[in-house]
Copies of this chain bind each other. A is one copy, B any other.
Amino acid sequence: MKWVGPIRISGNVAETETAVPLATFETPLWPSVARGAKLSMAVARGIVTTLVDERMTRSILLEAEDGPTAFDAVRVLRRGFDQLREVAGRTSRFVELIDLHHELVGHLIFLRFEFTTGDASGHNMATLAADALMKHILQTIPGVSYGSISGNYCTDKKASAVNGILGRGKNVIAELVVPQALVSSVLKTTAERVATLNVRKNLLGSVVAGGIRTANAHFANMLLGFYLATGQDAANIVEGSQGITLAEDRDGDLYFSCTLPNLIVGSVGNGKSLDFVEDNLIALGCRDGAQVGDGARRLAVLVAATVLCGELSLLAAQTNPGELMRAHVRIEREPISGH
């Protein structure tokens, strides 16, 4: 593990300059993120992060006698949303049911509950609330029986489209506009070459690969490093990796953004009480939020900014034949993996 930075960050959650901890076996990741961090410090507002949404989800599976019964059940449940919210709210003072989606397949009902969960990533709160909701539904809705406490429509740690479309975790945009002079001197490339590479590799390349809601080079690497260093459930990089990089040539300046719609992070909960994790979370300023949820939101934008740093640096390197190879031979006698 190593601290990299500082990164300058602004936006609707945090205005800060902070280094970030990255735990990884892929040592070239550190200088890669450091190069992006350096750029952020050279720009007035640094990396601008926007928290767009936050929610944690759990889907349950119910079996109805037939399609009409399933449809009726869903209508009754939607009309009784306030009651469902009350049932969920009784399971924890930090959990609030904010939305509900359903999918019917024949006589089966997939119900997707969506919660806010304070500073926790919320897996456990969501499961506990879903368990209470399941009991409530089985007691109050006739013709409906237990299917499963999890119906895979959540969906947790699996490659799918639903999380991006309906929301799961924090949805964060990180943006940086790099002036032409720095694109040239620090990134050794041009905005036009980065923009073209992004279209061809991250967009077209992902399309031909049969990618699903994914258009980036290596979000997963930065996510893993950050998650391990801050006690997150790192298996959530599966959906976290499904994000989008956008690069534009603006008269020589480089507009570069990373959109991460499925960031599952928490500043409290499982794994957060280990000493090094606590130290890291405190150093990141994620333990002293004025309001419930501030710690997790701050974590989310720090992760997103870190992802941008590493993504930008790698893409810039890949515009130059041989640079990636040379850089990594220099650093660890063997080339970087993973992108």
Contact = CB atoms under 8 A, between A and B. Distances in A.
Contacts of A306: none
Interface stretch (A33-41, A292-300, A330-338): A330-338
B158 A161 contact: no
* Copies in the assembly, this chain: 4
Given A25-B270, A155-B206, 15 more contacts: A49-B67, A52-B104, A61-B201, A67-B257, A106-B175, A106-B244, A106-B257, A131-B325, A148-B200, A152-B209, A159-B160, A159-B211, A160-B206, A162-B209, A218-B235
A116 interface: no
A324 B235 CA distance: 19
Contact of A152 (B11, B217, B241): B217
A33 B149 CA distance: 19
Contacts of A187: none
Nearest to A202: B152
Highest count of chain B CB atoms <10 Å: which of A206, A221, A319, A337: A337
A66 interface: yes
A127 interface: yes
A103 interface: yes
Contacts of A234: 224, 228, 234
Interface residues of A, number: 110
Interface of A: 11-12, 25-26, 48-50, 52, 59, 61, 63, 66-68, 70-71, 103-108, 110, 121, 123-124, 127-128, 131, 134, 138, 146-162, 164-166, 171, 173, 175, 197, 199-221, 223-224, 228, 231, 233-238, 241-242, 244, 246, 255, 257, 259, 261, 270-271, 318-319, 321-322, 324-325, 334-339
Nearest to A206: B152
Highest count of chain B CB atoms <10 Å: which of A25, A146, A216, A218: A25
A212 B209 CA distance: 9
Given A106-B257, A205-B110, A335-B131, A160 B321 contact: no
